[in-house]
Amino acid sequence: MSRVKRGVTKLKRRRNVLAQVKGYRFGRSTKERTAKEAIAHAGRYAFRDRRTKKRLARNLWSVRINAAARPVGLSYSKLIGALKKSKITLDRKSLSALAKDYPEAFERLVKSVKVA
């Protein structure tokens, strides 16, 4: 069996790993072993936090809707229930955007649901 020299491959792998950890502090940016560990942890956190980001956005929508519905005299749950009864199928993201950017339109929507 012929001998395999790994100089080029090994160097390329090392450069790739160190390029990924550019900007990290201490040995994580210069030492290959700690850099690999840092990449693994960063990947895990990135995967987890992509889901967390979505969760936080959904929470924010309901908070915004509730905050906009309170002055009109409804709570979040009563408003959502009333919207379902009157067969208005606006999702929470749209309702939140409406409450934040167009408060007059949101108030009209809430009042129309409240009457019905």
DSSP secondary structure, 51-75, as one string: HHHHHHHHHHHHHHHHHHHGGGT--
pTM: 0.74
Residues of the chain with pLDDT under 50: none
Residues 6 or more apart whose CB falls under 8 angstroms from that of 17 comprise 32, 35, 36, 39
Nearest to 111, CA basis, from 59, 51, 63, 71: 71
From start to end of the chain, where are the E strands? none
**Contact at 8 Å (CB) between 32 and 25?**
no
8-115 has CATH 1.10.1900.20 classification: yes
Nearest to 92, CA basis, from 77, 112, 105: 77
